[in-house]
């Protein structure tokens, strides 16, 4: 029982980071109906910029983080104004190919430009284990989960209560009606893309802290794909729930099934669950079926 609880707790801690990453994906999709498959590369670039600000520019930790946030927000807003706004209402494959191409370009350039960059937060910071209710947890993982949970709560509050969040929800429900009521679509969508860039920085720094840096982290962008599909592409609550479930599936699958089905089965368990769910609920756990008048 103690082994199961330890695995489940580790899965929940990982799920909180998945939730933060997936929300950056879902917010952009809800508002603009564009899928950003370059999110993993954005995370890597954000973490690298934070490290460059701290190590090369000799900025403090907070200033280095602000430097990275400003850089990614500018990149995200620029990408929206130059590319993404021309993809709105276009076939989904167009946005997929464009964002995949952006990610590949960023990965190739980043490997050359930022080779050897050090992370903002040393991996051994809070590396010692702590005991809570008889369970041993790495302090760094716990701190990361707390920061990620706070980020998820702030994003939810922004979407639900802020004036910009209300405008974005109106755009998500009916862009034509929102524009007719005086909402500047381009301005609000640029804001949500910039927010996705900011979230990518935080998620990249946290993920690099727990797992390690390098451009291999970019694969996390594809790793959260089961999260957003399981939860429902247009559901923030569903994304949070699905992120926890995916974290649990990974750790429990690795802990109990890897020995029988081969090493690495836990990593593909969420994709198997995704296939099974799509047979029953094609729109995800909390997604809404699109109703079209014929």
DSSP-assigned letters across all residues of 158-201: HHHHSHHHHHHHHHHH-HHHHHHTT--HHHHHHHHHHHHHHHHH
Query: Which alpha helices (H) appear in the chain, and where do they start and end?
Result: 2-32, 39-55, 61-82, 92-113, 139-161, 163-173, 175-180, 185-210, 220-223, 225-231, 236-256, 258-261, 265-280
Residues 6+ apart with CB under 8 A from 181: 170
The two structure tokens encoding residue 269 = 């368990």
pLDDT digits (tens, 9 = 90+) for 268-285: 888 888 888 888 887 777
The pLDDT tens digits for 62-89 are 888 899 899 999 999 999 898 888 876 6
* Three-class SS state of 37: coil
Q: What is the rounded distance in angstroms from the CA atom of residue 99 to the CA atom of residue 179? A: 26
In order of 67, 138, 139, 205, 235, the CA distances from 46 in angstroms are 9, 24, 23, 7, 25
Nearest one of 16, 53, 60 to 203, comparing CA atoms: 16
Per the structure block, which two tokens stand in for 115?
């080779």
Average pLDDT over residues 193-212: 85
Query: pLDDT tens, 219-267?
Result: 676 777 788 888 877 778 888 888 888 888 888 887 777 777 767 777 7
Domain range summary for the chain, segments of one domain joined by +: 2-221
- What are the pLDDT digits (tens) for 132-181? 666 677 777 788 888 889 989 999 898 888 888 889 888 888 888 888 88
The Cα–Cα gap between 269 and 115 comes to: 33
């Amino acid at each position: 029982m103690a082994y199961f609880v330890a695995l489940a707790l580790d899965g929940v801690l990982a799920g909180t980071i998945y939730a933060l990453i997936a929300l950056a994906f879902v917010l952009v999709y809800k508002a603009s109906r564009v899928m950003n498959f370059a999110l993993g590369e954005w995370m890597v670039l954000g973490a690298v910029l934070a490290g460059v600000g701290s190590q090369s520019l000799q900025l403090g930790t907070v200033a280095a983080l602000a430097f990275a946030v400003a850089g990614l927000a500018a990149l995200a807003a620029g990408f929206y104004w130059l590319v993404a706004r021309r993809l709105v209402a276009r076939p989904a494959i167009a946005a997929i190919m464009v964002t995949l191409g952006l990610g590949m370009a960023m990965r190739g350039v980043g490997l050359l430009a930022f080779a050897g960059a050090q992370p903002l937060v040393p991996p051994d910071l809070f590396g010692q284990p702590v005991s809570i209710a008889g369970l041993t947890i790495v302090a760094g993982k716990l701190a990361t989960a707390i920061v990620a949970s706070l980020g998820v709560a702030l994003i939810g509050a922004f979407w639900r209560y802020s004036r910009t969040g209300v405008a974005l929800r109106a755009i998500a429900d009916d862009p034509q009606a929102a524009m007719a009521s005086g909402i500047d679509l381009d301005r609000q969508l640029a804001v949500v893309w910039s927010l996705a860039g900011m979230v990518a920085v935080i998620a990249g720094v946290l993920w690099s802290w727990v797992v390690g840096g390098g451009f291999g982290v970019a694969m996390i962008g594809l790793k959260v794909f089961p999260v957003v599909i399981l939860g429902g592409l247009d559901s923030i609550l569903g994304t949070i729930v699905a992120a926890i479930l995916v974290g649990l599936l990974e750790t429990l699958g690795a802990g109990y099934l890897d020995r029988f089905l081969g090493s690495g089965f836990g990593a593909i368990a969420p994709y198997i669950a995704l296939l099974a769910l799509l047979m029953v609920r094609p729109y995800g756990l909390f997604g809404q079926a699109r109703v079209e008048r014929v």
